[in-house]
Homo-oligomer: A and B are copies of this chain.
Amino acid sequence: MKNAVLITIGDEILSGNTVDTNSNFIATELKNIGIKVSQILTISDEIETIKKAIDSAFQIGDLIITTGGLGPTRDDKTKKAIAEFFNDEIALDEVTFNHLKAYMERRGRLEILERNREQAFVPTKSKVFQNHYGTAPCMMMEENGKLLFSLPGVPYEVKPLIKDQIIPYLQEKFSLNYITTRIVSVVGIPESILADRIEDWELALPENLALSYLPVGTRVKLRLTATGENEPLLQQQLEEEIQKLLPLIKDNVIATSEDKIEKILAEILVERKLTISTAESCTGGELAKMITSVPGSSAYFLGGIIAYATEKKIDILKIKKETVEEFTVVSEQVADEMAEGCQKLFNTDIALSTTGVAGPGKGEDGKEVGTVFYTVRVGNQAVTSRLYMPHLERLDFMHFVSQKVIQDLVGILISEKN
């Protein structure tokens, strides 16, 4: 199996200013064509550091992909480091320059600055993959059968370069082993008890299969990875092992294929032709965003309300003023009425609601930070629950709660079916 090393170049990652999402994207794409990422390295934009990183990466990988360090500004040094590492010169590439010129003209920039022109300079031995969404081209170097790809750092330039050009190139260049993955999502059982329960099954797995535990919120994802030459055979093998696993934990399994909870939900809603709406307070739109992040969600998601101010909960969602007065706005009763009002407003089969205090400041009624009530309403049945998560930061809180609400809904829909 081919091994890749990813090198992220840039002080903005090391300083904590930017989260490195490129590595995640590239790793997923490589995995799909059977290339394993064995290391990810984030380094500073310095020539010697870059050369040293390339050297050590080639000792463990057949393939290096670098991102970042190719901008038109003075603090980028990657191209120079690559040329030096491969004992090459940098020269103007006509094809790249014409591509760049056309790209900039399309954007109304008729005058090419010297530092833009510098971007069409590439190592003479490099193969260039043109960047259709930015000015820095992708360059590939090859030595002793090993490859180095150097890409810009902007995620929306990286994605099409990887997907449309580099992945097809690699598929043609190598004959690769396939890696196939299945995810089994398990809820309502702590990781350690789960591990005990499936221990015999785990120990008996064939050698080309590997198991990982990935806890996400209150769900544990079991990832089963199979490696081999024959893809259909791998899929069959995974299916067989999952069939052996299911009887051991069948009441706790919520999905055996899709990975993300919002996609698991999408599958169920589409299959059963159900519609859904949301009424959010403390999750501030995150719940709706998670649901709409799935392509095709407009088939079942009709809309949502973020009723941040209490009077808007009363005006738009028609919750009773007396309920707020009696129980406060962060209460089981208000969550319940929000879901009911939302279901009526959007006329959906399902409605979800959240009301709570994300913090760090206390809520209107002095309710403790980290408290949330949420309702899952399916048809005429409503289930309201409480969560208390004072240790989560604001954004993590919004995300955790949204994930939990969707997970509970999936649980209810699945138990309905059984």
A interface list, Cβ under 8 A from B: 8, 11-21, 23-31, 36-44, 56, 71-75, 109, 113, 115-116, 132-133, 135, 154-156, 159-160, 181, 190-193, 195-196, 199, 202, 211-215, 223, 225, 259, 278, 280, 283-289, 291-293, 295-298, 301-309, 312, 316, 345-346, 358-361, 391-396, 398, 400
Contacts and interface: CB of A to CB of B under 8 A. Distances in A.
Contact of A306 (B74, B181, B304): B304
Given A305-B305, A306-B292, A17 B278 contact: no
Q: Which has the most chain B C-beta neighbours within 10 Å: A156, A287, A292, A307?
A: A292
A305 B308 contact: no
B28 A39 contact: no
A136 to B, nearest CB: 11
A308 B302 contact: yes
B39 A15 contact: no
B303 A292 contact: no
Contact of A212 (B12, B199, B285): B12
A51 to B, nearest CB: 14
Given A191-B71, A195-B115, A23 B42 contact: yes
21 contacts: A11-B212, A13-B40, A14-B38, A14-B39, A15-B225, A17-B214, A39-B41, A39-B44, A41-B41, A74-B199, A75-B212, A75-B213, A159-B393, A284-B301, A292-B308, A293-B394, A303-B306, A304-B308, A306-B306, A316-B316, A316-B345
Counting from the closest, the 5 A-B pairs by CB-CB distance are A284-B292, A16-B28, A285-B288, A16-B27, A285-B285
